[in-house]
Amino acid sequence: MSHFALQNGVLHAERVPLSAIAEQYGTPTYVYSKARLLENFAGYAAPCAGRDALVCYAMKANSNLAILDILARQGAGFDIVSGGELLRVIAAGGDPGKVIFSGVGKTMAEIGLALEKGILCFNVESIPELHRINEVAGRMGKRAPVSLRVNPNVDARTHPYIATGLKASKFGVAFADALATYRTAAALPHLDVVGIDCHIGSQLLDDAPLLEALDKVIELVDTLADEGIHIHHVDVGGGLGIDYGTGEAPPVPASAYVERVFARIDAWRAARHGGKPVKVIFEPGRSIVGDTGVLLMAVEFVKPGEEKNFCVIDAAMNDMARPTLYQAWMDVQPVKPRQGTPVTYDLVGPVCESGDWLARDRALVVEPGDVLAMMAAGAYGFTMSSNYNTRGRAAEVLVDGDQVHLIRRREDPAELFALESLVK
């Protein structure tokens, strides 16, 4: 069920009219549905019940503390990519013992922080990184749990900017080098080799490439076992796509995909390991939060042009980078649809860049002051926003039934330069 739907001619988030939120909190504002968040998480977590499995939410998609807190209470772990994200998990009451740390460029300080807090695992992407983690752990008198991110060279069939599992990608260890890299890891004195992971891309509309990557990973685990390197968890990464309103048919709810992963794993364990279970980790981001959020924005002006008509809105590329960065098509709906003859507009913001557009060629009936909602904006929306043009970032609001909670207040421009100093 959609938690963003028209009721009495007004688009609602659960039981709250979005017009009321725009009035109270202003625009641009991100609005999230708690019910949808819980449903999406349950799509992963329900099939995991009773098994040794962990859903590590990839918090780069949306790292608001309130979102993290809700997920942590549901038992989520977290996939992080920086020390800052680890501090967020802790601030939200999440358990560092359920954190996995991904990314190609972990600094010494970040590794030290993660070891101090006792994270579950480092997802390592190169031999130099193995040496660095070993060195920091040795200095701290600790052992670091590591997994290697292998690159199975599977085509995720998605936008090139968000495909990560190909040979040309900066991510992961090439499949051909995986065995040697595992041997290096196993020989380092301050590392415990505990897992294997892969992540082939994002916004996948078909889970076949994910399962193909899993098959390759499984083969590698057996090769490692023959070498005496025993893997305790298999991390299948994230990547499931969502419906952006162009007829995509993503595998939702995620439970069917999760069941398919377990079926593969169980058949393999039964055939090769006497049924001995292996822990399974998932790293979903977009499919947990993407369709839980909308971005509210108001029409400032309509500006007819020679070739194009422009609808100038108060949200811009700094609030939502996906359209200009990935040519992503995001659905835009009026909060109070009007009668009339639609006009085709490009929706553009006030930022001084030709690339500052949020949607193109949309047929809308709008007037200045109208509020529009960019749909399915909950993932990689706020987290990728910036202060370009000294624009304070949008407010964030969470709706729970008929309750509205402000979970991040709008930034005041004065706060944006508060860290700067004049040269005396």
Catalytic residues: 352
Angle at 368 between CA 364 and CA 370, to 5 degrees: 65
Nearest to ligand LLP of 28, 201 (CB atom) = 201
Residue 311: which of 356, 349, 354, 355 has the closest Cα? 349
293: Cα within 13 Å, side-chain hemisphere: 29
CA–CA separation, 175 and 150 (whole Å): 6
Backbone torsions φ then ψ of 291, nearest 5 degrees: -90, 15
Nearest to ligand LLP of 203, 292 (CB atom) = 203
Q: Is 249 exposed, middle or buried (0-12, 13-18, 19+ CB in 10 A)?
A: exposed
CA–CA separation, 406 and 120 (whole Å): 32
Is the dihedral angle over the CA atoms 409, 414, 417, 421 positive or is it negative?
Answer: negative
Nearest to ligand LLP of 287, 385 (CB atom) = 287
* Ramachandran sector of residue 215 (left: φ over 0; alpha: ψ -120 to 50; beta: rest): alpha
Instruction: Show the beta-strand stretches assigned E in 156-284.
Output: 173-174, 191-197, 233-235, 279-282
Count interface residues toward ligand LLP (CB under 6 A): 19
Q: Which stretch binds ligand LLP (CB under 6 A): 131-139, 196-204, 248-256, 308-316?
A: 196-204
Site for ligand LLP contains 322 (CB under 6 A): yes
List alpha helices for 250-350, DSSP H.
255-272, 286-289, 322-326
Among positions 30, 268, 380, 382, the unique one binding ligand LLP when judged by CB under 6 A: 380
Binding mask 150-179 for ligand LLP (x = CB under 6 A): ------------x-----------------
Q: Which stretch binds ligand LLP (CB under 6 A): 140-148, 234-242, 260-268, 368-376?
A: 234-242
Site for ligand LLP contains 238 (CB under 6 A): yes
Which residues, 1 to 40, sit near ligand LLP by CB under 6 A? Answer: none
Site for ligand LLP contains 198 (CB under 6 A): no
Q: How many helices and strands (H and E) does the chain possess?
A: 12, 21
Among positions 181, 202, 324, 385, the unique one binding ligand LLP when judged by CB under 6 A: 202
Nearest to ligand LLP of 96, 284 (CB atom) = 284
Q: At closest approach, how far in Å is the CB of 318 from ligand LLP?
A: 15
Contact call for residues 210 and 169 (beta carbons, < 8 A): no
Q: At closest approach, how far in Å is the CB of 360 from ligand LLP?
A: 17
Give the tokens for residue 394. Answer: 């949008």
Residue 375: which of 286, 313, 295 has the closest Cα? 295
Largest CA distance in the chain: 73
Q: Which stretch binds ligand LLP (CB under 6 A): 198-206, 338-346, 366-374, 409-417?
A: 198-206
Site for ligand LLP contains 61 (CB under 6 A): yes
Site for ligand LLP contains 85 (CB under 6 A): no
Among positions 77, 83, 94, 239, the unique one binding ligand LLP when judged by CB under 6 A: 239
Site for ligand LLP contains 106 (CB under 6 A): no
Nearest to ligand LLP of 3, 199 (CB atom) = 199
Site for ligand LLP contains 79 (CB under 6 A): yes
Q: Which stretch binds ligand LLP (CB under 6 A): 33-41, 195-203, 299-307, 396-404?
A: 195-203
Residues in touch with ligand LLP (CB under 6 A): 58, 61, 79, 102, 162, 199, 202-203, 237-239, 283-287, 322, 326, 380
